[in-house]
Amino acid sequence: MNYQFPEGFWWGSAASGPQTEGVFKGDGKAQNIWDFWYEEKPEKFFNEVGPDKTSQFYKNYHEDVQLMKATGHNSFRTSIQWSRLIPDPETGEVNPKAVEFYNDVINCLLDQGIEPFMNLYHFDMPMVLQEKGGWLNRKVVDYYVFYAKTCFELFGDRVKKWFTHNEPIVPVEGGYLYGWHYPEEVNLKHGVQVAYHEALASANAIEVYHSLDLTGEIGIVLNLTPSYPRDLGNEADVKAARLVDGLFNRSFLDPAVKGHFPEDIVAWLKEQDLMPETTLEDLATIAENTIDLLGVNYYQPRRVKAKESPIEISSNGILPEDFYDVYDMPGKKMNPYRGWEIYEKGIYDTLMNLKENYHNIRCYISENGMGVEGEERFVNAEGMIEDDYRIEFVKDHLKWVYQAIQEGSQVQGYHMWTCMDNWSWLNAYKNRYGFIAVDLDQEAKRTIKKSGYWFKELTKNNGFN
Ligand code: BGP
């Protein structure tokens, strides 16, 4: 079968500033929470490798943009580092070196016919603002809006696709529910407040963007994890899956697309005494400033069943898991390196849900990918990694994206995570995701993998057989 995609489909990959740039102390950059946390607790990071050891995009972007071209990209998403652009949020002064760098990256991409997609926040709170409470503090929303406006004014003449956040649930889960990320809290009430302020920050930035005389569009990138009940015929399982979908997906999707929070989740938060502090004015801003375009990161579904033991609130307070159990579905396909289920049809279900329940919002797959450990073992005689598993992974997902398009989904592109192997939050370089290998022992030498050549063919033909 020939899977032919609509004309103008965006093909490319996604990355983020903090995971690729390096130079985490130089050229006027201030600390963000990752730089700080790594210096405080290096043992938290796999092999104690921190954000100072990246693929060094800051220095290598000329070569990297050439490699994007060589692998058939027509678009690429990265993020601006707030702590690089505005090292001191109090004065709001911009760092000229950062302006020069981001300008040059954007121009290089455009020169090669690669559309820059720019994200504003990828888990990288400036440390000085975290000291004020980070997203817990309503005032940080105002600092963020100033930062967003600065970015639009500096780069908005050339960047036509903007995103306010990448995966806003992750700072909630990582920083405030499970203690994976700084500030390592376990406090659902704080998590809810953080989620609300992120939604508010996004709506405020959208308002500012639309008020400027710019011709692009703006949205948000959400990681959507379709929630499947163990047994569709079991009411308690279905109810548990609906709650999980509400907490992890709809709490972000509904304000972004519809301008309000889901009623069942608001009722649940009230019941649990977890309502965030809000104002009518802020709620009106959320209501009036919805997105133009949605980025969908899809990696894995959630399998859910009703709680089997009675609900017990731990001494740390309520966690979502107190209200459901994870269903370990027999026979599910796993990526053993990341511990994530691979369920290709989930991408289709997600797109159809957007079509049916979210006004068929225009969207694109902003991340999808497969992290694999020890890829050196697949190097062939010519020195190229033969990552056939990655090609199969992408194809298997694209078949479902294609199917969704046939059924009317307005999905307009597909970005892989990621272009070249990069540093990851806790796993550092354990799992590699790129089309392009980065050899850290050889000054981050880049080598295109088999999947990179395959991707070039795919994008040349705008489809595959
Ligand atoms: C997404 C993030 C990325 C990236 C990716 C892979 O959630 O947006 O920043 O890291 O996941 O995950 P990991 O690197 O943790 O394996």
Q: Give the pLDDT confidence of 238-260 residue by residue, as tens digits.
A: 999 999 999 999 999 999 999 99
* 197-220 exposure pattern, b = at least 16 Cβ within 10 A, e = fewer: bbbbbbbbbbbbbeeeebebbbbb
Q: Are 348 and 408 in contact (CB under 8 A)?
A: no
Tokens describing residue 31: 């600390």
Q: Is 164 in the pocket of ligand 1 (CB under 6 A)?
A: no
Name the residue of 181, 417, 430 to mutate for ligand 1: max ligand atoms within 8 A of Cβ.
417
Rg (CA), the chain: 21
In this prediction, residues 251-280 reach a mean pLDDT of 97
Is 80 exceeded by the pLDDT of residue 315? no
Q: Is 167 in the pocket of ligand 1 (CB under 6 A)?
A: yes
Q: Is 417 in the pocket of ligand 1 (CB under 6 A)?
A: yes
Homologous superfamily (CATH) of 3-464 is Glycosidases (3.20.20.80)
Is 90 exceeded by the pLDDT of residue 317? no
Is 80 exceeded by the pLDDT of residue 343? yes
The pTM (predicted TM-score) of the whole model is: 0.98
Is 90 exceeded by the pLDDT of residue 113? yes
Nearest atom, ligand 1, residue 170 CA: 7
Is 90 exceeded by the pLDDT of residue 316? no
Q: Is 427 in the pocket of ligand 1 (CB under 6 A)?
A: yes
Does residue 183 have a cis peptide bond before it, meaning omega lies within 30 degrees of 0? yes
Q: Where are the domains of the chain?
A: 3-464
Is 80 exceeded by the pLDDT of residue 313? no
Nearest atom, ligand 1, residue 424 CA: 14
Is 90 exceeded by the pLDDT of residue 88? yes
Ligand 1 centre to CA of 93 (Å) is 31
In this prediction, residues 68-92 reach a mean pLDDT of 98
In this prediction, residues 205-215 reach a mean pLDDT of 97
Ligand 1 centre to CA of 324 (Å) is 25
Q: Is 424 in the pocket of ligand 1 (CB under 6 A)?
A: yes
Is 70 exceeded by the pLDDT of residue 268? yes
In this prediction, residues 390-399 reach a mean pLDDT of 98
Ligand 1 centre to CA of 272 (Å) is 31
pLDDT score for 253: 98
Element holding 102 (H helix, E strand): helix 96-111
Ligand 1 centre to CA of 209 (Å) is 27
The per-residue pLDDT of the chain, averaged, comes to: 97
Catalytically active residues are 367
Cα–Cα–Cα angle for 132, 266, 319, nearest 5°? 65
Ligand 1 centre to CA of 418 (Å) is 9
Name the residue of 425, 426, 431 to mutate for ligand 1: max ligand atoms within 8 A of Cβ.
425
Tokens describing residue 211: 């008020």
So what's the ipTM on this one? 0.98
Q: Following CA atoms 160, 164, 170, 175 in sequence, which dihedral angle do they give, to the nearest 10 degrees?
A: 140
